[in-house]
Amino acid sequence: MIGGGQLARMMVPPAIELGIDLQVLAEVDGSSAAIAATAVGDYTDAATVLGFARGVDVITFDHEHVPQPVLAALLDAGHLVRPGPGALAVAQDKILMRERLTALGAPVPDWAAVRDAGALAAFLAEHGGRAVVKTPRGGYDGKGVRVVGSASEADDWLAGAGPEGLLIEELVPFRRELAQLVARRPSGEVRAWPLVETVQRDGVCAEVTAPAPEAGALTGAARALAERIATELDVTGVLAVELFETPDGRLLVNELAMRPHNTGHWTIDGAVTSQFEQHLRAVLDLPLGDPSPTAPWSVMVNVLGGPADGAMPSRYPAALASDAGVKVHSYGKPSRPGRKVGHVTATGAALDDTAARARAAAGFFQA
């Protein structure tokens, strides 16, 4: 696995249980996935990545940022790369993502690629005067995303943009955000977890409810959509489809990620097969596991920032005493404002109670 963040870290437990030798190329010493880090180096350097690849059977990722020339070098050297460069390109470039989704007939917000202030102003004029501007590459957790009301508000980004320009999208007046996760293996088998509802704060995932309450027909529609996207884009591993539900009950695709995703962390404690185990199975082309939930409701709440006075474990005496059933996950990171340092998941038979328990437990790790 290239990348030593918390997604790599959370892949280690199922790798241990299944007896799969997971090796990680981490960015730095002491990464979140340090226990499995067999190499430390720059994932944008082809020689580093090729050296790491020689010791493994298949390469996968905990982020989308490995450059295409490095991916091409891996393929040229005969390595298995899952998901492959063609699929990853769609997750790496938001303009390409919009082009491919549009070509597939997938429902997306109105969008355009804009290369100058004039085009940006024209889009704004056609969409009520406000829109979302995104840098096509490198954004995550709200970075590289800006709501603008005039072309001048994106001047800095336009000046720094490449030939493809910036992505501009209509500001969708969504009722709520949803996410549909599926996993696909090279043989074509696809398995879907239940559709979930997500709450974002400042562009960062804050809370996930599984399954999405009162989703009705959206459940089947989201699943069919994600399965089709996974198949058409030839995704291997977990595909996360972030969705808007519009006030009139339609789904629009917001973003795609081709790796385990924050909106799937609840599966560790709330599904027969977690997204991390499933990703491993998928990239090894093993039969996929049952993604069924193990409880009527699961609610995951992120721990953002973490305790002011130390890492998460310093609060365990109080947090664990308050609720014996909540599952606490710490990513082994020092606290820092806004940083994802862990999450908690509660499962239960009643949604209100389950959500209250998850929020209360997460609260022990704030400030």
Nearer to a second copy, 146 or 329 (CB): 329
Given candidates 103, 159, 217, 324, which one binds a second copy under the rule CB under 8 A? Answer: 324
Binding to a second copy by CB under 8 A, coded x per residue (else -) over 19-58, reads: xx--------------xx----------------------
d(CA 25, CA 53) in angstroms, rounded, equals 9
Which 3-state string (H, E, C) describes 141-202?
CCCCEEEECCHHHHHHHHHHCCCCCEEEEECCCCCEEEEEEEEECCCCCEEECCCEEEEEEC
Nearer to a second copy, 165 or 348 (CB): 348
Nearer to a second copy, 237 or 342 (CB): 342
For position 18 contacting a second copy by CB under 8 A, the verdict is: yes
Nearer to a second copy, 162 or 325 (CB): 325
Phi, psi angle pair for 151, to nearest 5°: -60, -30
- Partner residues linked to 344 by β-bridges: 301, 328
For position 288 contacting a second copy by CB under 8 A, the verdict is: yes
The stretch among 98-106, 151-159, 230-238, 313-321 that binds a second copy (CB under 8 A) is 313-321
342 neighbors 329 (Cβ within 8 angstroms) = yes
158 neighbors 119 (Cβ within 8 angstroms) = no
Given candidates 263, 342, 354, 357, which one binds a second copy under the rule CB under 8 A? Answer: 342
Nearer to a second copy, 17 or 116 (CB): 17
Location of structure tokens 């005496």:
317
Nearer to a second copy, 118 or 325 (CB): 325
Given candidates 89, 332, 339, 360, which one binds a second copy under the rule CB under 8 A? Answer: 332
DSSP letter string over 17-50? HHT----EEESSTT-TTGGGEEEE--TT-HHHHH
For position 185 contacting a second copy by CB under 8 A, the verdict is: no
**Of all helices (H) and strands (E), which one includes residue 13?**
helix 6-18
d(CA 89, CA 96) in angstroms, rounded, equals 8
37 neighbors 4 (Cβ within 8 angstroms) = yes
CB of 313 to a second copy, least distance (A): 6
Summary count for the chain: helices (H), strands (E): 12, 17
Nearest to 24 by CA among 178, 13, 16, 35: 35
For position 330 contacting a second copy by CB under 8 A, the verdict is: yes
Nearest to 4 by CA among 90, 93, 65: 65
**Of all helices (H) and strands (E), which one includes residue 133?**
strand 131-134
Given candidates 28, 77, 125, 272, which one binds a second copy under the rule CB under 8 A? Answer: 272
Binding-site residue total for a second copy (CB under 8 A)? 42
The stretch among 18-26, 92-100, 136-144, 252-260 that binds a second copy (CB under 8 A) is 18-26
CB of 77 to a second copy, least distance (A): 25
The stretch among 66-74, 167-175, 230-238, 322-330 that binds a second copy (CB under 8 A) is 322-330
Tokens representing residue 4 in the block: 């030593």
For position 268 contacting a second copy by CB under 8 A, the verdict is: yes
d(CA 330, CA 219) in angstroms, rounded, equals 31
Instruction: Work out the angle at residue 293's Cα, subtended by the Cα atoms of residues 338 and 351, and round it to the nearest 5 degrees.
Output: 65
Given candidates 130, 292, 334, 336, which one binds a second copy under the rule CB under 8 A? Answer: 292
For position 281 contacting a second copy by CB under 8 A, the verdict is: yes
For position 328 contacting a second copy by CB under 8 A, the verdict is: yes
Given candidates 60, 198, 236, 273, which one binds a second copy under the rule CB under 8 A? Answer: 273
CB of 295 to a second copy, least distance (A): 7
Binding site for a second copy (CB under 8 A): 9-10, 12-14, 16-20, 35-36, 191, 268, 272-273, 281, 286-290, 292, 294-295, 311-313, 316-317, 320-321, 324-325, 327-332, 342, 347
